Amino acid sequence: MERKRRVFMLAAIAGGAALSSTAFAQAKLDEKDPQAQALGYVADATKADKAKFPKYAAGQVCSNCTLYQASGACAIFGGKVVASKGWCSAYAKKAA
Ligand code: SF4
């Protein structure tokens, strides 16, 4: 009886953990987000506004930016997920 109860409790905990990880799945950054627009974020770095952001250089993408996290989130945008091939004017090359 005790064992059954323990198994039930573990299942309930595991279910709750699965539910909360879904509920807290990180939001994706929208290019139309006001902060994203202010920093010129684009999900496709090749579409960066080169006239407005002349510091953009080919090869600069989120995935090689120091602010890009392993989860795909960006520290600048409150942990929202950015495109690995994206870019914004806060780009800072990751140290090799
Ligand atoms: Fe991408 Fe870096 Fe800009 Fe974040 S700060 S959106 S990782 S280029």
Residue nearest to atom 3 of ligand 1 (CA): 88
The parent domain of residue 63 ranges over 27-77
Asked if 78 contacts 28 with a C-beta cutoff of 8 angstroms, the reply is no
User: For residue 87, which atom of ligand 1 is closest to its CA?
Assistant: 8
CATH number at residue 69: 4.10.490.10
The reply to whether ligand 1 has any atom less than 6 angstroms from the CB of 29 is: no
Other beta carbons within 10 angstroms of residue 18's beta carbon come to: 10
Please provide the average confidence, as pLDDT, over all residues in the chain. 85
The reply to whether ligand 1 has any atom less than 6 angstroms from the CB of 74 is: yes
Other beta carbons within 10 angstroms of residue 84's beta carbon come to: 14
Answer whether residue 90 is part of any domain.
no
Number of domains in the chain: 1
Q: Please state, in angstroms and rounded to a whole number, the distance separating the CA atoms of residues 20 and 16.
A: 6
**Which two tokens mark 34?**
């006001």
Q: pTM for the complete prediction?
A: 0.76
d(CA 67, ligand 1 centre) in Å:
6
pLDDT tens digits, one per residue of 18-39: 444 444 578 999 999 999 999 9
